Amino acid sequence: MSSRVEMEETCRILVESVSGWAEANLVPSVTARDAAGKFDRALYMRLGSELGLFGVTLPESLGGCGLDVSATIAVIEALSKSDPGMAMSYLSHELLFAHQLYWTWAGYGDALPLRHADVLKRHVLGGMAMTEPNAGTDVLGMCTKAEATEDGYRIDGVKQWITNGPVGDAFLVYARTGEDRRAISLFLVTSDCPGFARASCDEKMGMRTSSTGVLMFQNCRVPRDALVGRLHEGLRPMLRNLAVERLGLAAQSCGIAWACFEVMRDYSVHRKAFGRSIAEFGQIQKMLSESYAQCRAMRALLQEGVREILDGSRDATVTADAVKLFCASSGERVSRDAIQVLGANGYSSAYPVERLHRDSILLSIGGGTNEALQKNLSRLVTRSS
């Protein structure tokens, strides 16, 4: 068997076990956790202790599974069918923190500093902090700065909307290290560093089972080996990881859409109106059939994006942008149609589709807004003409 075929088989088995576990362990409490806006850390940790899902793309020497990102993407889609908020916490840890930390060093061909290896081995809960109150899409407009001191760096600034922010143990933090707009560096900051504080911004519309927060750095002292990669070269890991992050977020939309499609399909068969199943009405059939086609198209495009990343294709970034743009819009549309098919039941928390629709909207904002992706893509596709 080729390694590609073996990996596909591994992903299939992984999806089966993650889906079954999520159905049994996440679904029973997800409505209550969503209503409370509560991230359940103990439940999250069971993804590691019971399913071995932490460090999927890390080598076994770091306590990882030694698989490629196709496995992480498959896990994220499977978790998102049941609980997209929990899936987002997982994505932030796995792709934005652990994968990014390891592959930044690997990208330079360097061994991990001992402290970084230790953080990864312990599978602490991580996150990534790029966005600031006044710098989101305009990421190079960030104000957080890091200055060299005798024994390390001093970080000052504020990061906002950081997934796992209020609950995480360690973060990859982008900070300005020079006058040039592009002079940005990446730092590993653990939550016990002096001068580090945080607050929650959990009153959000969707993804309420994940925790989101503000990270504050006030004269925050980190050791010299907090630097990840090279000084002033933080844009390199940022760009390297962006395509992977966007595929992960697209996988979230895909999981949401499939979950909504399945609910609307089953409901439309059993719900009767005018003596018939509503699945017999043409307008309902339109929503069902188009949702099904959207789900199939999302998954096909996502798989193409994953293949291109794994093959190291030059087009991988363009494809990842296209995948995220298409999947975010499609996820919103399918989940909205699911609400329509279920009528008043769809509008209530008796069924998961209203929660899934609220969750789906984040995916048009986080990790690059639809508008930013439209701009990127139109610039890239017109470049050669």
Ligand X SMILES: Cc1cc2nc3c(=O)[nH]c(=O)nc-3n(C[C@H](O)[C@H](O)[C@H](O)COP(=O)(O)OP(=O)(O)OC[C@H]3O[C@@H](n4cnc5c(N)ncnc54)[C@H](O)[C@@H]3O)c2cc1C
Give the separation between CA 153 and CA 267, rounded to whole angstroms: 57
C-beta separation of 181 from 139 below 8 A: no
Give the separation between CA 66 and CA 57, rounded to whole angstroms: 5
What's the start-to-end Cα distance of the chain, in Å?
Answer: 42
Among residues 132, 233, 245, 332, the one annotated as catalytic is 245
Among 161, 261, 326, 351, binds ligand X (CB under 6 A): 161
* Position 136 contacts ligand X (CB under 6 A): yes
Looking at the Cβ atoms of 280 and 371, the one nearer to ligand X is 371
203 as an active site residue: the answer is no
* Position 129 contacts ligand X (CB under 6 A): yes
Q: Which residue is nearest to ligand X (CB)?
A: 136
Q: How far is CA 134 from its chain centroid? A: 22
Strand 170-176 versus strand 184-190 pairing type: antiparallel
Q: How far is CA 298 from its chain centroid? A: 16
Identify the residue whose tokens are 């509503």: 278
Segment lying near ligand X (by CB under 6 A), choices 2-10, 157-165, 298-306, 339-347: 157-165
How many amino acids of this chain bind ligand X (CB under 6 A)? 22
* Position 163 contacts ligand X (CB under 6 A): yes
Looking at the Cβ atoms of 58 and 128, the one nearer to ligand X is 128
Strand 170-176 versus strand 126-129 pairing type: parallel
- Cβ at position 210, least distance to ligand X in Å: 7
Looking at the Cβ atoms of 212 and 294, the one nearer to ligand X is 212
* Position 92 contacts ligand X (CB under 6 A): yes
Per DSSP (E only), the strands in 201-312 are 212-223, 227-228, 272-273, 276-277
- Cβ at position 202, least distance to ligand X in Å: 9
Length of the chain: 385
User: Could you list the residues that contact ligand X (CB under 6 A)?
Assistant: 92, 127-131, 136-137, 161-163, 204, 207, 212, 362, 365-367, 369, 371-372, 375
**Active-site residue numbers?**
245
